Structure formats: structure tokens, C-alpha cells
Amino acid sequence: MIGEAIAAALPLMREQAASLRTDTCTIERQSSKWDAENRKTAAVWTPIHTDVPCHVEDSPGTSRSLATDERVTPGTPLVAVDWTFTDIQPDDRVTVPGHDPMWVTSAAHDDATHPVETLIQCRRTR
């Protein structure tokens, strides 16, 4: 009975979450490429998802936490994207016009716990 109610409400919940996504972001992954001219390895950012409707929510300036053995800056934004965007990994780069680049700390994509949207925890420093 509860499962049926949730299943019936899920499309509406997804529509409501989508209406909050007024920004557009790009999610990229770093790889390397040999630069023969300069004889060194160069970083290359490959788009994983482009033109993704998203919503950036900054945390209060007083929050601090540890992520991947480094101090996270006070602003640790949470980026919400549609639940269909998967394959987002730590250290991927999220760029949103009007915001500094952000790097993924974790991306919660689990249909059981986040059936409405994928929540991407980011950090501002790399």
C-alpha cells in the first residue's frame, strides 16, 4: 500500500525537483595525453555529461569537514542533477556558469535512497 503511494508520487516528485534546476552544468573527467612537442604529459578534461540541468546549493560558510585527506573549504556545495545521470566519480570536475569550478567528493546515486535526483557533494579546492 505504501509502496503504491510512493510509486504514484514519484513522477510528481521528479517534476518538482526538476523545476528547481535552473542552472546548467558540465561534468568532466580528467585524463592525460602525451604532448610530444613539449615532451610532457598534459591534463585533458573529457566531458562525461554536458548541458545538465542542475541546482547548486552552497553550505553555510562555517561548515568544515575532511574529504580525501584534505581540508575542505567552508563552502562545500551540493549539486543536484536528474537521477538518470550516473557514472559520476570522485575528482570529476563540475562547472556551472557564474560559479568557480568544483570537484566531486561523492555522488549519491542509488534508486533505493535517491530515486528523485543524484546528489553530488563537491569541494571548491582540488
Q: Which structural domain, as residue segments, surrounds residue 117?
A: 2-123
Count structural domains, the chain.
1
CATH number for the domain harbouring residue 107:
2.40.10.270
Kindly state the cell numbers that stand for 70. 584534505
Q: Coil, strand or helix: which one is 4?
A: helix
Kindly state the cell numbers that stand for 99. 560559479
Q: Which helix (H) or strand (E) holds 47?
A: strand 40-57
- Is residue 90 over pLDDT 90? yes
Q: How far apart are CA 34 and CA 98, in angstroms?
A: 32
Query: Using the 8-state DSSP alphabet, how is residue 98 labeled?
Result: T
Residues 99, 102, 84: CA angle, nearest 5 degrees: 100
Query: Using the 8-state DSSP alphabet, how is residue 99 labeled?
Result: S
pLDDT digits (tens, 9 = 90+) for 19-71: 989 999 999 999 989 988 888 998 899 999 999 999 998 765 544 555 555 55
What is the pTM for the complete model shown?
0.74
